[in-house]
Amino acid sequence: MLKKPINALKNTFFPPICLNCGKKTTKNYLCLSCKKQIKVLRPPFCYSQIKTNNNIYEKPITALSSCNYKNPIKNLIYSFKYKHCDYLADFLSRFIVKQLKITKFKPQNYDFIVPVPLHPYKMKIRGYNQAELLAKQIAKYFQLPLKNDIITSKYVKDSQTKLSSKKRQENVKGKFIVKENFTDKNILLIDDVFTTGATISTCWQSLKEKGVDKIFIITLAKALKN
Ligand SMILES: [Zn+2]
């Protein structure tokens, strides 16, 4: 009963600040004008083709993404990952849900949801895996089981951020280990940002090697080449 007046009082003394432009706002996280700038990507821009290094899988892998990786989404993802704003998972996951619904994703055809794992060292620093927090929300929405412990991430020589596309592929080779066989299972694989596709395609290959049939890849954002 008291929640509303307490919130109103809190908002008077500590008005929410837009995480993109820094202005005071009456909304959560983003002011109205920043929120309006977020556009869910449409075909063909929402799709990415990834070529794998592995000869067994000759066809390129397709990944779907929700938003263009630029502000305000870029700023929100930054806060989400590096400023401990884990509470943004609910808000950000809605763009993934929206995109999955637009593309007529059929949850009944999938067995479970898997987030791309975070390196244990980063996990220790951050305290959470942002892809897992997004996956949790998606799992809740589509009522699909979440499996967040079937893939483990091994040590990687260099940070991916400053590497070229080819170097990224080499750097993450054999990075992920899938613990058991998942013969003929269909999986929805989730990550936060799609850059070159090196991480997600390595994950994809590790799952395929354990017998997974269909893998639907979705990321929250994608860095579009201009
Ligand atoms: Zn704003």
Provide CB contacts within 8 A for 199, sequence distance 6+.
116, 160, 168, 172, 175, 191
Average pLDDT over every residue of 196-216: 92
Cβ burial of 83 (10 Å; 0-12, 13-18, 19+) is exposed
| Distance from Cα 25 to the centre of ligand 1, integer Å | 8
**Rounded distance from Cα 177 to ligand 1 centre (Å):** 41
Task: Say if residue 48 is in the same domain as residue 30.
Answer: no
Same domain flag for 12 and 100: no
Q: Model confidence at 59, in pLDDT bands (50, 70, 90)?
A: confident
Residue 15 banded pLDDT, cuts 50, 70, 90: confident
Pair 23, 84 in one domain: no
The model's pLDDT over 130-152, given as tens digits with 9 standing for 90+, comes to 999 999 999 999 999 999 999 98
Q: Do 67 and 47 share a structural domain?
A: yes
Same-domain pairing of 136 and 97: yes
Claim to verify: residue 43 and residue 101 sit in the same structural domain:
yes
Q: Assess whether pLDDT exceeds 60 at residue 47.
A: yes
Residue 112 pLDDT > 60, yes or no?
A: yes
Distance from Cα 76 to the centre of ligand 1, integer Å: 11
Give residue 157's domain range: 39-222
18 C-alpha vs ligand 1 centroid, how far in Å?
Answer: 5
84 and 184 in a single domain? The answer is yes
Q: What is the pLDDT of residue 179?
A: 87
Decide if pLDDT at 199 tops 70. Answer: yes
Domain total of the chain: 2
The CA 69 to ligand 1 mean position distance, Å, reads 17
Q: Is the pLDDT of residue 122 over 90?
A: no
Q: What is the CATH number of the domain that holds 195?
A: 3.40.50
Among all chains, which residue has been given the structure tokens 């639907």?
216
- The residue that leads in pLDDT, 198 or 79, is 79
Angle between helices 73-82 and 89-102 (to 10 degrees): 130
pLDDT at 26: 84
**Shortest CA distance to 18 belongs to which of 26, 7, 10, 30?**
30
State pLDDT tens for residues 139-187: 999 999 999 999 988 766 556 666 666 666 666 667 889 989 999 999 9
Q: Are 23 and 81 members of one domain?
A: no
Cα-to-centroid distance, 92 and ligand 1 (Å) = 16
Q: Are residues 180 and 106 in the same domain?
A: yes
